[in-house]
Amino acid sequence: MSDNNYYTSEQHGDFEVYELGDFVLQGGETLRGATLAYTCYGKLNSEGDNAILFPVMFSGTHAAMAPYVGKGLALDPEEYFIVIPNQLGGGLSTSPHNTRGPFHTSYFPDLSIGDDVNAQHQLLTHLGVKHLQLVTGWSMGAQQTYEWAVRYPNMVERAAPIAGTAKTTNHCSLYVDVFSEALTSDPAWNNGVYKQSSDVEQGLRRMAHVFAMMGVSQNFYNDEVWAENGFSSKEDVLKGLWENWFLPMDPNNLLSMAKKWNSADVSLHTNGDLSAALQSITANVFVISFEQDMFISPADSLKDQQMIPRSELVSIPSPWGHFTMLGISADDFQAINGHLKRLLETQSL
Whose Cβ is closer to a second copy: residue 86's or residue 143's?
143
* Using rule CB under 8 A, residue 187 touches a second copy: yes
Please indicate whether residue 265 is annotated as part of the active site: no
Q: Which of residues 135-174 bind a second copy (CB under 8 A)?
A: 169-172, 174
Dist. CA 235–CA 47, nearest whole Å? 52
Of 293, 300, 304, 332, catalytic: 293
Rule CB under 8 A: choose which of 127, 178, 276, 307 binds a second copy. 178
Whose Cβ is closer to a second copy: residue 244's or residue 334's?
244
Whose Cβ is closer to a second copy: residue 73's or residue 210's?
210
Dist. CA 146–CA 216, nearest whole Å? 24
Burial class (CB in 10 A: 0-12, 13-18, 19+), 250: buried
Q: Which of residues 196-235 bind a second copy (CB under 8 A)?
A: 202, 206, 209-210, 212-214, 217-222, 224, 234
Please indicate whether residue 329 is annotated as part of the active site: no
Whose Cβ is closer to a second copy: residue 221's or residue 333's?
221
* Using rule CB under 8 A, residue 244 touches a second copy: no
Q: Minimum distance from CB of 334 to a second copy (Å)?
A: 24
Whose Cβ is closer to a second copy: residue 155's or residue 238's?
238
Q: Which of residues 56-95 bind a second copy (CB under 8 A)?
A: none
Q: Which of 29-37, 250-258, 294-302, 336-344 is the region at the interface with a second copy (rule: CB under 8 A)?
A: 294-302
Helix (H, G, I), strand (E, B) or coil at 1: coil
Please indicate whether residue 293 is annotated as part of the active site: yes
Residues 6+ apart with CB under 8 A from 174: none
Neighbours of 55 (CB within 10 A): 29
Q: Minimum distance from CB of 260 to a second copy (Å)?
A: 20
Burial class (CB in 10 A: 0-12, 13-18, 19+), 195: exposed
Burial 160-173 (b: 16+ CB within 10 A, else e): bbbbbbbbbbeebe
* Using rule CB under 8 A, residue 175 touches a second copy: yes
For the chain, how many helices (H) and strands (E)?
A: 13, 8
Whose Cβ is closer to a second copy: residue 23's or residue 175's?
175
Neighbours of 312 (CB within 10 A): 17
DSSP 230: T
* Using rule CB under 8 A, residue 300 touches a second copy: yes
Dist. CA 148–CA 167, nearest whole Å? 13
Dist. CA 342–CA 73, nearest whole Å? 11
Q: Minimum distance from CB of 339 to a second copy (Å)?
A: 23
Of 2, 93, 95, 139, catalytic: 139
Dist. CA 202–CA 265, nearest whole Å? 32
Q: Minimum distance from CB of 183 to a second copy (Å)?
A: 10
Contact 53, 39 (CB under 8 A): no
Q: Minimum distance from CB of 206 to a second copy (Å)?
A: 6
Residues that bind a second copy (CB under 8 A): 169-172, 174-175, 177-178, 181-182, 185-187, 202, 206, 209-210, 212-214, 217-222, 224, 234, 238, 294, 297, 299-300
Q: List residues with catalytic annotation.
A: 139, 293, 322
